[in-house]
Structures are given as structure tokens and as C-alpha cells.
């Protein structure tokens, strides 16, 4: 029997990870934050002294990435790195290496291995288009760039991190353009994906929308 998969793709800071994790919890499904794999790879490359532009070098690291997702945390070579991979610099690095075909190829099967019974909810930028094209439900979750920048700013402030709203907005806008323009697995809404704009929507309403669509799909 085919194992159900819900893919939630969308731009940076759209809230897709929060929605995906909550949907997975509601359904009792496994959850994969695909962006975390790219962030982990970027962090690992940085720590190994490998340039993010070194496609072959980064791909080699991706194939042997000592990553673990356990107890609600993210680990790299046994070290908890939840905060480290969320740094703005690492986010930019993740976007840079995600444009490299050899890196995407190295991480592809690793992502597909998370498809286990009773089901999987995953978020990213090409989950529905490339990694799980046969997904039971595909969602493209987005929000206005200014709204996303505001959310990211509040998130950083709540953690007592320094934050500059205009800079965050610029980073988000630049990353949107880069992710949409890359030649390999560009960020886009697939024809069979449901559009979910959360600009004026609470997290609970977004989760309810995805759950409702999934019930209709099965």
C-alpha cells in the first residue's frame, strides 16, 4: 500500500515548517524538515572549511552528513545545532548550496528514506515537484514578503537576538529571487498543488486548511 505523503513547499520564512510539524503531529505522521538538511550541510561545509561554491566538495560532505533528528532536536556529529543552523548566514549558505545539482542529488535519496508508515509530512521548496511527485497532497504555502520579514524579525527578537527588519526583508527578497531562478528544482507552485496564502491567517487556520484538504484527498 502506498504510504501517504503531504508536501508543503514555499518560500523562506513563510511558516511552512511550523504548519508541517503541527499537521504531522495531528495525523501521527513522520515529519521531515528538508531545509534543515541543507542548512546542516551548509554548516558542516563551513566547519570543514569547504567553500559553499565547491560543488563536488559540498556534495561529498552531503553524502556522509553525520546528521540526526531525535528528541525534537537536530544534531550534527552528536552536537545539538538547532540554533546554529537557524543563523541568517547559514540560511544564505543553504540557499547557495541548494542551487548545486550534485548536492541536491546527494540529498535526494536521504529525503525519500523518511517516507515511512503511517505517513509523512515534509516541507521545503521542491518536495512536491522533485522529491515526492506522487504525494497524496501538495500544498504551496506562501505569504507576502513584508509579512514574512515581520514574522522573522519577531522570532529573532523573542530569542533576544539582534535583528534588522530592512535587512531581513532584503535577505528574504533576494532569496526568493535566487530560489525561483535556479536551474535545478526552482521554487514554484506545481499545477497540482493547493495554494495557501497565510499573510492574514493564523497558524491554527493554516493547519486546519491542510488537514481538510488531506481528508478530501484520501
Can you give the residue ranges of every domain in the chain?
4-209
| Chain segment 82-105, per-residue pLDDT in tens | 989 988 899 889 989 988 999 999
Phi, psi of 164 (to 5 degrees): -125, 110
Query: What is the average pLDDT score of the chain?
Result: 92
Q: What is the DSSP string of 90-159?
A: HHHHHHHHTT-HHHHHHHHHHHHTT--TTEEEEEESSIIIII-TT-SEEEEEE--HHHHHHHHHHHHHHT
CATH homologous superfamily for 4-209? P-loop containing nucleotide triphosphate hydrolases (3.40.50.300)
Share of the chain above pLDDT 90, in %: 71
Q: To which H or E segment does residue 195 belong?
A: strand 194-197
Question: Residue 71 pLDDT > 80, yes or no?
Answer: no
Contact status, residue 199 vs residue 12, Cβ threshold 8 Å: no
* Per-residue confidence (pLDDT) for residue 8, from 0 to 100: 97
Mark the binding-site residues, compressed into ranges. Answer: 10-18
SS3 category, 29: coil
Q: Indicate if the pLDDT at residue 186 is higher than 80.
A: yes
Number of Cβ within 10 Å of residue 200's Cβ equals 9
Could you tell me which residues are annotated as the binding site for ATP? Answer: 10-18
Higher pLDDT, 71 or 175: 175
Q: Give the Cα separation of 14 and 143 in Å (integer).
A: 6
Q: Which one, of 71, 23, 20, 16, lies nearest residue 187 by Cα?
A: 16
Kindly state the average pLDDT of the residues 129-153.
95
What's the rounded mean pLDDT across residues 119-140? 94
pLDDT (average), residues 127-137: 94
| Model confidence at 194: pLDDT above 70 | yes
The answer on pLDDT for 1 being more than 70 is: no
**201 band by pLDDT with thresholds 50, 70 and 90:** very high
For the segment 109-123, the average pLDDT, to the nearest whole number, is 93
Beta strands in 26-112 (DSSP E): 30-33, 67-70, 73-76, 79-80
Amino acid at each position: 500500500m502506498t504510504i501517504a505523503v503531504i508536501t508543503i513547499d514555499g518560500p523562506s520564512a513563510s511558516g511552512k515548517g511550523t504548519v508541517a510539524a503541527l499537521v504531522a503531529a495531528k495525523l501521527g505522521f513522520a515529519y521531515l524538515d528538508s531545509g534543515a538538511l541543507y542548512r546542516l550541510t551548509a554548516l558542516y561545509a563551513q566547519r570543514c572549511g569547504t567553500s559553499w561554491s565547491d560543488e563536488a566538495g559540498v556534495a561529498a560532505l552531503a553524502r556522509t552528513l553525520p546528521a540526526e533528528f531525535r528528541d525534537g532536536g537536530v544534531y550534527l556529529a552528536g552536537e545539538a545545532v538547532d540554533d546554529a543552523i537557524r543563523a541568517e548566514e547559514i540560511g544564505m549558505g543553504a540557499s547557495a548550496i541548494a542551487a548545486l545539482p550534485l548536492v541536491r542529488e546527494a540529498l535526494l535519496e536521504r529525503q525519500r528514506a523518511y517516507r515511512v508508515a503511517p505517513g509523512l509530512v515534509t516541507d521545503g521548496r521542491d518536495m512536491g515537484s522533485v522529491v515526492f511527485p506522487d504525494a497524496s497532497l501538495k500544498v504551496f504555502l506562501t505569504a507576502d514578503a513584508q509579512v514574512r520579514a515581520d514574522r522573522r524579525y519577531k522570532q529573532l527578537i523573542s530569542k533576544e537576538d539582534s535583528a534588522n527588519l530592512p535587512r531581513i526583508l532584503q535577505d528574504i527578497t533576494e532569496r526568493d529571487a535566487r530560489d525561483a531562478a535556479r536551474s535545478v528544482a526552482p521554487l514554484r507552485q506545481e499545477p497540482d498543488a493547493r495554494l495557501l496564502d497565510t499573510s492574514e491567517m493564523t497558524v491554527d487556520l493554516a493547519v486546519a486548511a491542510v488537514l481538510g484538504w488531506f481528508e478530501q484527498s484520501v
